[in-house]
A and B are shown apart, each in its own frame.
Chain A
Amino acid sequence: MKKHYLLLSFIALLVSSCEKDDFCIEPVTPNMVIRFYNATNITQTKSVENLSVNPEGLDELYSNANLDSILIPLDVTSNQIIYNLSSESNIDVITINYDVEEVFVSRSCGFKAIFNNVSVSSDVSNDWIIGLTETLENTITIPTIDNETAAHVKIFH
């Protein structure tokens, strides 16, 4: 009888020894953080009225929102993504080019992507976006995007 108990507990240990022990809590592939600023007073953030955001050919991530910052994902299967940003039905197009680097995070999180040599440019029509830099130019480059702790791009409008 004693032997049976030992055998049973052995089988129980055998079966239970493969439970998941970790969950993905580390940050994975970062989104691009965009903050909206006032073009006439460049140190002040300014919310966008009726903001809608969608990647070209895909559904809207934000629709008719009043926000001063947004998070937009970049496409890890490509080196480019185009976003339509519209405010009160005026559509501006921004194009983002980048290199994708794969970085291992952990067993449960797997691999994330970080983005290097990122260049962002807005179309020159300037419907509501006036510029991407403090001197109101239409392009900006960012060496790397590997976290979401601070804004990567400022949009002045």
Chain B
Amino acid sequence: MLKSFIKICFLIIFVRVSAQQNNDSIPKDSIVYKTNYGLRLGIDISKPIRSLLQNYNSGIEIVGDYRISKKWYVASELGNEKFTTSEDFTNSTSRGSYIKIGLNYNSYNNWLDMNNEIFTGFRYGFATFEQTLNNYQINSNPLLPSLTNNTPYTENGLTAHWSEILLGFRAEVYSNIFITFSGSYKIMISLKDPVNFKTHYAPGFNRVYTSNTGFGFNYTISYLIPFRKK
């Protein structure tokens, strides 16, 4: 009886040890989760929101990117805007189109086959536009009457070149449908100002601050047209 008990004990120990050995030698998971590569197209919906919150007039922006590797995307934005800048002594409206081209780098490591992104990127931007000085008042001594000119004057053929860096968050909310929001900091490279006036707003660049810098925010909805999986 005792002999058989000891035998059983040994057997259990052996089995347990061998079970542990089996645990150690589980083969590595060979399943690779494939993600979609393709062209992603979308529109910016922050502009309609801004037109409700601010004196933003109108604008449309189409965004697109193309995945070139696991982490890198070629990205571009195309847009057209109209914006009125109202200052103490001047009121002016900018109208025009712009294009931005650059790269995004996704620094987010996704679980399994998820497709979210925390990305940084840079862009080169170019805008061609016109600016109308709608009215202005001469900033003169308030003891005497001031001169207000209400005759609009438009200067055509204005251009702006700039560079921008951006940070964004992108989430796949449904299959192949993404929402993105991103913020950007822009530095003007060259800007053509109207004669005896200044460009207050360049399409795509937004407000031109005193130091020739600018900020931008985007909120987009886009759809990925998958070309292949890898």
B87-A73 in contact (CB<8A): no
Q: Smallest distance from the beta carbon of A5 to chain B beta carbons, Å?
A: 11
Contact partner of A113 (CB less than 8 A), chosen from B138, B181, B207, is: B138
A31 in the interface, Cβ–Cβ < 8 Å?
Answer: yes
> Which residues of A lie under 8 Å from residue B197 when comparing CB positions?
104
Contact partner of B53 (CB less than 8 A), chosen from A14, A28, A58, A100, is: A14
A28-B139 in contact (CB<8A): yes
Given A17-B215, A111-B90, also A102-B53 (CB < 8 A)? no
B181-A22 in contact (CB<8A): no
A102 and B196 alpha carbons, distance in the complex (Å): 9
> Which residues of A lie under 8 Å from residue B200 when comparing CB positions?
107
**B residues apposed to A, CB below 8 Å:** 46, 49-50, 53-54, 87-90, 136-141, 143-147, 169, 171, 181, 183, 196-198, 200, 207, 209-210, 215, 217, 219
Kindly report which residue of chain A lies nearest to residue B56, judged by CB atoms: A18
A61 and B91 alpha carbons, distance in the complex (Å): 31
B181-A10 in contact (CB<8A): yes
> Which residues of A lie under 8 Å from residue B181 when comparing CB positions?
6, 10
Given A28-B140, A77-B145, A111-B138, also A14-B90 (CB < 8 A)? no
Contact partner of B138 (CB less than 8 A), chosen from A14, A31, A112, is: A112
> Which residues of B lie under 8 Å from residue A31 when comparing CB positions?
141
**A residues apposed to B, CB below 8 Å:** 3, 6, 10, 13-15, 17-18, 21-22, 24, 28-29, 31, 55, 58-59, 61, 73-77, 81, 100, 102-113
> Can you offer 11 A-B residue contacts whose CB atoms are under 8 A?
A10-B217, A10-B219, A58-B144, A75-B144, A81-B144, A104-B198, A105-B139, A107-B87, A110-B136, A110-B138, A111-B138
Kindly report which residue of chain A lies nearest to residue B171, judged by CB atoms: A3
Given A6-B169, A14-B53, A106-B198, also A76-B210 (CB < 8 A)? no
Contact partner of A55 (CB less than 8 A), chosen from B50, B87, B144, is: B144
> Which residues of A lie under 8 Å from residue B143 when comparing CB positions?
55, 58-59, 61, 73
Kindly report which residue of chain A lies nearest to residue B141, judged by CB atoms: A73
Contact partner of A109 (CB less than 8 A), chosen from B89, B147, B217, is: B89
Kindly report which residue of chain A lies nearest to residue B85, judged by CB atoms: A107
Given A18-B54, A107-B87, A108-B87, also A76-B217 (CB < 8 A)? no
A100 and B207 alpha carbons, distance in the complex (Å): 31
State the 5 A-B residue pairs at the shortest beta-carbon distance, nearest first: A110-B89, A73-B141, A29-B140, A28-B139, A76-B147
B215-A109 in contact (CB<8A): no
A76-B144 in contact (CB<8A): yes
- With A29-B140, A110-B90, A112-B140 known, 8 other A-B pairs at CB within 8 A are A6-B181, A13-B183, A17-B217, A18-B54, A103-B196, A110-B88, A111-B136, A112-B139
A6 and B183 alpha carbons, distance in the complex (Å): 12
Given A13-B183, A22-B210, also A110-B140 (CB < 8 A)? no
A58 and B143 alpha carbons, distance in the complex (Å): 9
A24-B147 in contact (CB<8A): no
Q: Smallest distance from the beta carbon of A21 to chain B beta carbons, Å?
A: 6
Q: Smallest distance from the beta carbon of A113 to chain B beta carbons, Å?
A: 5
> Which residues of B lie under 8 Å from residue A3 when comparing CB positions?
171
A108-B88 in contact (CB<8A): yes
